[in-house]
Structure 1
Amino acid sequence: MRILICEDSVLLREGLVRLLEHSGHEVAAALPDTTELFTTLEHDMPDLAILDVRLPPTYSDEGIRAALRIREQYPDLPLLVLSQYVEERYASELISAYTPALGYLLKDRVADVTDFVESLEQIRTGGTILDPEVVAQLLTRSNHDNRMQRLTARERTVLAAVAEGKSNQAIAELLHLSEASVEKHITAIFQKLELEADGTGNRRVLAALAHIENQAASPQPRQD
């Protein structure tokens, strides 16, 4: 796998280069900032890109904004955002489309080299890898608490399809419903999870993340 790295820390950048090459991968480019990022992508497309969130010159959000631009221009390029921080606004926007081959991991929580390399390989093959802390912070921001229990069985089924990245049309075909019915179910889900449109969050991604966090608990739903 050919991998592009965009990381300002020399130590971490060179550490990633050595780690990836030792694991049998090729580093297509190792960039300190986004200055040459899109020129590099235009002339030498890698199999996967790793970007830090905070890069020069302001060390605020250059990296994750570049990730969003990559998603727009090269939607098929597998992408891993690797950061010390959860940039909530842009993280929500980046994840909201639920396009495949995407990861968001926190540097401090990447403790196992084998797991990290496996995560890259999963992303390369279309997987979505989200750090649990990223999910937790986005959900805390939505303040959903235990509101998942308010959903009916049908609403849970619709929400599960949303979490898989399916469009309203695809959900309608899957469940043999009209698109209007699907829209009504999704509106009800937003209301029950108290995910109101406020201009700063994405209700669809937060609802899907709520499903991801709660699916292990599997509380008994009400029937329609």
Structure 2
Amino acid sequence: MRVIVAEDSALLRQGVVRLLTDAGFEVPAALGDAERLPALVAEHRPDAVLLDIRMPPTHTDEGLHAAARIRRSHPGTGVLLLSQYVETTDTVRALAEDPRGFGYLLKERVADIDELAGALKRVAAGESVLDPEVVTRLLDTPRAPGPLDELTAREREVLGLMAEGRSNDAIAGSLVIGAKTVETHVRNIFAKLALETDLHDHRRVKAVLTYLRA
């Protein structure tokens, strides 16, 4: 699997590249700014891109703009954003456009190569990944009434774990409940969010999209 790394901290960038290569990933390019990133993606055609949200020259949202360009030009390339802090406003706005193949992790997760590798593989496969801390912040943020109000507390927990990119088996393990119980919760979530069976749109993705927009 091929991954391009964009991180302005040289030390962190080198460390991430080393972790990824040791884990069997190929890193065809690693750079410290977002400006050159779209061109490198076009040149190397990676499976995924790992990039910081805040990059030179302003260190505000250059990573988000680069991610948007990459997703427009190369929709099959997974994008995994990194941030030092939870930045729900910009990240949710970017994710809500289309969460497939898009993820967001806090930088503290980078040290766990299994978690990082798993997140990269999921976004490369077209799945969505949200850091658990981001999910917690979203759940704690006041919001206007919406479709999520129909869900029970347990169903909201299940949907939050779905937003993190967890499978049904992983959700069952996290909540210490049976796999059949998780399947029931997921079916209830689909029903309450009025997500009918559709061969062209994945209901799991639609449920996460509803969650992010709410």
Question: Normalization by structure 1: what TM-score?
Answer: 0.66
Q: What does residue 193 of structure 2 align with?
A: 159
Q: What displacement does 1:110 show?
A: 4.2
Q: What does residue 101 of structure 1 align with?
A: 101
Q: What does residue 178 of structure 1 align with?
A: none
Q: 1:135 touches 1:209 (CA, 8 Å); kept in 2?
A: no
Query: 1:122-170: per-residue Cα shift (whole Å, max 9, x none)?
Result: 22222211112222323433436998454699885252749x9x79x95
Q: 2:16 touches 2:110 (CA, 8 Å); kept in 1?
A: no
Q: What does residue 175 of structure 2 align with?
A: none
**Which protein has the larger Cα radius of gyration, Structure 1 or Structure 2?**
1
Q: What does residue 30 of structure 2 align with?
A: 30
Q: What does residue 117 of structure 2 align with?
A: 117
Letter in 1 for 2:56: P
Q: What displacement does 1:111 show?
A: 4.5
User: How far apart, in 2, do the equivalents of 1:210 and 1:93 lie?
Assistant: 8
- CA spacing shift, 1:18–1:151, aligned 2, 3 Å: closer
User: How far apart, in 2, do the equivalents of 1:72 and 1:142 lie?
Assistant: 31
Equivalent runs, 1:1-224 vs 2, <5 Å: 1-143=1-143, 148-150=148-150, 157=191, 159=193, 161=195, 205=209, 207-209=210-212
Question: Any gaps of 5 or more consecutive residues in structure 1?
Answer: 175-203, 212-224
- CA spacing shift, 1:100–1:155, aligned 2, 3 Å: closer
Q: 1:4 touches 1:30 (CA, 8 Å); kept in 2?
A: yes
User: How far apart, in 2, do the equivalents of 1:17 and 1:111 lie?
Assistant: 12
- CA spacing shift, 1:156–1:38, aligned 2, 3 Å: closer
> Cα RMSD between the aligned structures?
3.4
User: How far apart, in 2, do the equivalents of 1:23 and 1:155 lie?
Assistant: 36
User: How far apart, in 2, do the equivalents of 1:84 and 1:156 lie?
Assistant: 33
